Structure 1
Amino acid sequence: MNWLDVTFPALTLDQLYDLLKLRVDVFVVEQTCYYPELDDLDRHPETRHIMAYQGEKLAAYLRILPAGTSYNDNPAIGRVVIANYARGAGLGHQLMQKALVSCQQHFPNQRVKMSAQEHLTAFYNTHGFIECSNTYLEDGIPHICMIQKT
């Protein structure tokens, strides 16, 4: 597995295409969720893009947004996605571990928040996140706000 942790300007055109294609394939097509995928947050100068390539194929991706974008006082993890062919092998856990290391490095001493799909609450609990809201609909899918434990 080849891991990358880069900002928008460091992405190659192929990597940008790969991450957008993976997100659309899973969130829009597979989950039939129509939402504004291009939200201008990918290219924020402090946004981190965590990617895992298996050979030439993008297997996993997420982005980390700085405080002041999704949440006023907290950086945020979002767009967490594993390619269909790569699921079931623990790659999601590896992706979250990489993300949390990146958060500590680039956004030290800040608790990370996320808007998680509700059915993944237990998964995020294993990575030190706790619920901080009731369930709400986001783009027609039940979500819950989660924040890192102190």
Structure 2
Amino acid sequence: MIEIQVKSFQELSTQELYDILQLRSEVFVVEQNCVYQDIDGKDQKALHVIGIKNNKIVAYTRIFKPGDYFENASIGRVVVAKNQRQFKYGYDIMKASISAIENSYKETFIKISAQAYLKSFYNNLGFKEIGQEYLEDDIPHIAMIKE
């Protein structure tokens, strides 16, 4: 079981921010062997959805209100530590992110840019593919929406 916290950028402690960036880098840069600029200047506008287990951040997303990233509310940087994936925390952190968008932004229409291999994961959460696959940082992605 993970404890979920939702925080603005200003509410994050220096240690929490460090741990989030470390987890994102561990998965998106090292594990996926993808050289890209993770620190993109958008974290300040986001709400950060943090999954904590044994005082360690093991799952994370960031969410945006309409207009701050996409035209619609969105969820991005969905990540679960490799050694915690067998517990299905991806579903917990995504459900918490969807709820946080509904509660914080009063929105139900959500757009994501999903890694294509995770389509069925997002389908299980109510997202549907729109358009064609595209490359983002040399990884196949697809736009998906939840209404």
Give the TM-score of the pair, scaled to structure 2.
0.95
* Conservation of the 8 A alpha-carbon contact between 2:4 and 2:93: no
For 2:44, the aligned partner's letter is: R
Q: Secondary structure at the match of 1:67?
A: coil
Residues 114-140 of structure 1 show CA distances to partners (whole Å, capped at 9, x for unaligned) of: 000000001101111101121000000
Query: What does residue 121 of structure 1 align with?
Result: 119
> Partner letter of residue 67 of structure 1?
P
Alignment of 1:29-44 (within 5 A): 29-44=30-45
**Percent of matched pairs sharing the same residue:** 38
Deviation at 1:109, TM superposition (A): 3.2
How far did residue 29 of structure 1 move?
0.5
Number of paired residues?
A: 146
- Which stretch shifts more, 61-70 or 14-23? 61-70
Match of 1:77 among 68, 75, 78: 75
Q: Are the counterparts in 2 of residues 5 and 50 from structure 1 also a CA contact under 8 Å?
A: yes
Tell me how far apart the structure 2 counterparts of residues 106 and 57 of structure 1 sit (CA, whole Å). 25
Match of 2:48 in 1: 49
Structure with more strand by fraction: 2
For 1:115 and 1:32, the matched residues in 2 are separated by 19
Q: For residue 103 of structure 2, what is the aligned residue in structure 1?
A: 105
Q: Is residue 41–residue 65 contact of structure 1 (8 Å, CA) maintained in 2?
A: no
CA RMSD of aligned residues (A): 1.0
